Amino acid sequence: MNIILLAPPAAGKGTQAELLEQKYHLNHLSTGDLLRASASREDAFGKEMKKILESGVLVSDDIIFKLLDEYLEESENKNLLFDGFPRNINQAERLENMLKERNDQLDFVFLLEVEKEILETRITGRRLCRKCGSVYNVNINSLKPKQNSICDKCGGELYQRNDDNKDSFEVRYQEYLDKTSTLINYYQNKKILYRIDSEKPKEEVFQSISNIIEKEMTE
């Protein structure tokens, strides 16, 4: 089973990916996480990635494919959950070819829909654990950590991403509208696009996604 989570920034891709990965034993592939790992390096490439991520514009397709190929070479699990990839038609076509070469296909594209104003609140309130990567939100009561700046799960320190500010959000959102949202029609035409109301609490969003997967898999 191969799944894409398609959505604007902070719509809940990472949050849902964590839940889906556990329930369906998928290999969660976040191109954002791969890029942030590169950006943490002190070499010239790392510095270049850091600059691009902070600005909010998309990284070039060549870089994305290079990171993706490296990742897939090392991964054994064939059930893939794509979070933040593809982000344009070129990336989508390349993914399709790559899956064909593995005698595989895409099964579901979940479009997580959230209004822009809500996304902004989510972006500015997001906090992440440095140790285990768990995601919190200090602007949303049900998603706040129990103790300020400390992860409930592992006691790690919570931090804010460099691109989680209003300026960078505006650029990221515009990139989504200009380049990524064209994928909605693309996957709709392939009849594998499912719209999900991602303004609901995360457990309800997860239930909606799971219901669709289970319904389609039993038919």
What are the catalytic residues? 13, 87, 126, 161, 172
59 binds ligand AP5 (CB under 6 A): yes
Let me know the angle formed at the C-alpha of 154 by 76 and 22, rounded to the nearest 5 degrees.
Answer: 35
**Closest CA relative to residue 117, chosen from 52, 173, 59:** 173
Contact region with ligand AP5 (CB under 6 A), list: 38-46, 144-152, 198-206, 208-216? 198-206
Tokens standing for residue 111: 């479009």
Would you say 125 or 156 has its CB closer to ligand AP5?
125
CB of 136 to ligand AP5, least distance (A): 6
Give residues 92-121 in contact with ligand AP5 (rule: CB under 6 A). Answer: none
Beta bridge partners of 195: 111
Contacts of 35 by beta carbon, 8 Å cutoff, 6+ apart: 49, 53, 59, 67
Q: Long-range pairs for 125-134 at CB < 8 Å and ≥24 separation?
A: 126/10, 126/160, 126/161, 126/164, 127/158, 127/159, 127/160, 128/158, 128/159, 128/160, 128/161, 129/153, 129/154, 129/156, 129/157, 129/158, 130/156, 130/157, 130/158, 130/159, 131/155, 131/156, 131/157, 132/156
Give residues 123-162 in contact with ligand AP5 (rule: CB under 6 A). Answer: 125-126, 135-137, 140, 143
Tokens standing for residue 155: 């006691």
Out of 1, 3, 13, 29, the only residue in the binding site for ligand AP5 (CB under 6 A) is 13
58 binds ligand AP5 (CB under 6 A): yes
Contact region with ligand AP5 (CB under 6 A), list: 48-56, 93-101, 144-152, 187-195? 48-56
Q: For residue 167, give the amino acid letter.
A: D
CB of 133 to ligand AP5, least distance (A): 10
Out of 1, 28, 122, 183, the only residue in the binding site for ligand AP5 (CB under 6 A) is 122
14 binds ligand AP5 (CB under 6 A): yes
89 binds ligand AP5 (CB under 6 A): no
Contact region with ligand AP5 (CB under 6 A), list: 73-81, 150-158, 187-195, 201-209? 201-209
Tell me how far apart the alpha carbons of residues 210 and 63 are, in angstroms, rounded to a whole number. 32
Footprint on this chain of ligand AP5 (rule: CB under 6 A): 7, 9-15, 31-32, 35, 52-53, 56-59, 64, 84-85, 87, 91, 122, 125-126, 135-137, 140, 143, 172, 198, 201-202, 205
